[in-house]
Amino acid sequence: MLTYGNYGGRFVPETLIPALDELEHGWREALADPSFAAEIDHLGRTYAGRPTPLTRTSRFATAERRPLHLKREDLLHTGAHKLNNALGQAVLARRLGKHRIVAETGAGQHGVATATVCAKFGLECVVYMGSEDMRRQRPNVERMHLLGAEVRPVEFGTRTLKEATSEAIRDWITNVETTHYLIGSAVGPHPYPEIVRELQSVIGGEAREQFLATEGRLPDVVVACVGGGSNAIGIFSAFVDDPDVRLLGVEAADAASLGTGRAAVLHGARSSVLADEDGQILDAHSISAGLDYPGVGPEHAWLRDSGRAEYVRATDREALGAFRELTRLEGIIPALEPAHALARARELEDDYVLVCLSGRGDKDLEEVLAQS
Ligand SMILES: Cc1ncc(COP(=O)(O)O)c(C=O)c1O
pLDDT 10s digits, 15-38: 999 999 999 999 999 999 999 999
C-alpha triplet 2, 114, 303: angle, nearest 5°: 30
pTM over 0.95: yes
Given a cut of 90, whether residue 279 has pLDDT beyond it is: no
Ligand 1 in reach of 105 Cβ (< 6 A): no
Q: Strands 100-105 and 179-181, how do they pair? A: parallel
What per-residue confidence (pLDDT) applies to 309? 98
Q: Which of 73, 98, 104, 185 is catalytic?
A: 104
Which atom from ligand 1 is nearest to the alpha carbon of 296?
9
Given a cut of 90, whether residue 202 has pLDDT beyond it is: yes
Helices 192-215 and 82-95: crossing angle, nearest 10°? 130
* Residue 104 annotated among the catalytic residues of the structure: yes
| pLDDT, tens digit (0-9, with 9 covering 90-100), for 105-147 | 999 999 999 999 999 999 999 999 999 999 989 999 999 999 9
What per-residue confidence (pLDDT) applies to 372? 75
Residue 51: CB atoms within 10 A of its CB come to: 18
340: left (phi over 0), alpha (psi -120 to 50) or beta: alpha
Helices 17-32 and 82-95: crossing angle, nearest 10°? 100
Q: What is the DSSP letter of 314?
A: E
DSSP characters for 322-340? HHHHHHHHHS--B-HHHHH
Q: Give the whole-number percent of the chain exceeding pLDDT 90.
A: 97
Distance, in Å, from the CA atom of 312 to the CA atom of 250, rounded to the nearest integer, reads 5
* CA R_g for the chain: 19
What per-residue confidence (pLDDT) applies to 229? 98
Give the 3-state secondary structure percentages of the chain, helix then strand then coil, rounded to 5: 50, 20, 30
Q: Which of 82, 98, 162, 363 is catalytic?
A: 82
Cα–Cα separations (whole angstroms), residue 94 to 36, 207, 332, 371:
11, 29, 36, 43
Ligand 1 in reach of 229 Cβ (< 6 A): yes
Q: What is the mean pLDDT of residues 175-202?
A: 97
Cα–Cα separations (whole angstroms), residue 35 to 91, 201, 260:
11, 18, 43
Given a cut of 80, whether residue 1 has pLDDT beyond it is: no
Q: Which of 271, 358, 363, 367 is catalytic?
A: 358
* Residue 358 annotated among the catalytic residues of the structure: yes
- pLDDT band of residue 2 (cuts 50, 70, 90) is confident
Residue 204: CB atoms within 10 A of its CB come to: 25
Ligand 1 in reach of 106 Cβ (< 6 A): yes
Distance, in Å, from the CA atom of 310 to the CA atom of 232, rounded to the nearest integer, reads 12
- 304 contacts 311 by C-beta, under 8 angstroms: yes
Q: What is the DSSP letter of 265?
A: E
Nearest residue (CA) to ligand 1, atom 4 = 337
Spacing, Cα 356 to ligand 1 middle (Å): 11
| pLDDT, tens digit (0-9, with 9 covering 90-100), for 210-255 | 999 999 999 999 999 999 999 999 999 999 999 999 999 999 999 9
